[in-house]
């Protein structure tokens, strides 16, 4: 028997995104199929900025965290999503 009410939103998949990007950006990334930072190295900043909820602050924070891991956003737009 489930204890979740019918109005409870589904659980968001686990991600390794930094909390500093904010919930709207995290939700937008998950909705687009991204759940791992390494996936973001395959897409450009412009592609991510096109997602509703992802703004300049989220891009800056993600860029910094990617750099700490030796990664960066793709220079050109990818041909497909994750």
The pTM score is: 0.81
Span 48-75, average pLDDT:
97
Q: Phi/psi at 45 (nearest 5 deg)?
A: -60, -40
Q: Does the pLDDT value for residue 2 go beyond 60?
A: no
State pLDDT tens for residues 12-49.
679 999 999 999 999 999 999 999 999 999 999 999 99
Cα dist from 1 to 4, 5, 8, 37, whole Å? 9, 11, 15, 35
Query: With the C-alpha atoms ordered 42, 27, 30, 80, is the resulting torsion angle positive or negative?
Result: negative
Q: Report the pLDDT value the prediction gives residue 77, as an integer from 0 to 100.
A: 73
Q: Which helix H or strand E contains 29, and what residues bound it?
A: helix 23-31
Task: Between 7 and 26, name the one with better pLDDT.
Answer: 26
- Tokens 């900043």 locate to 45
Structure tokens at 74: 């793709």
């Amino acid at each position: 028997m489930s204890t979740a009410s019918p109005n409870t939103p589904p659980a968001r998949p686990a991600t390794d995104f930094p909390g500093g990007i904010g919930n709207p950006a995290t939700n937008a990334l998950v909705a687009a199929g991204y759940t791992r930072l390494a996936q973001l190295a395959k897409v450009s900043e412009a592609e991510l900025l096109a997602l509703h909820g992802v703004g300049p602050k989220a891009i800056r924070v993600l860029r910094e965290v990617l750099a700490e891991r030796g990664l960066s956003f793709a220079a050109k737009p990818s041909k497909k999503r994750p």
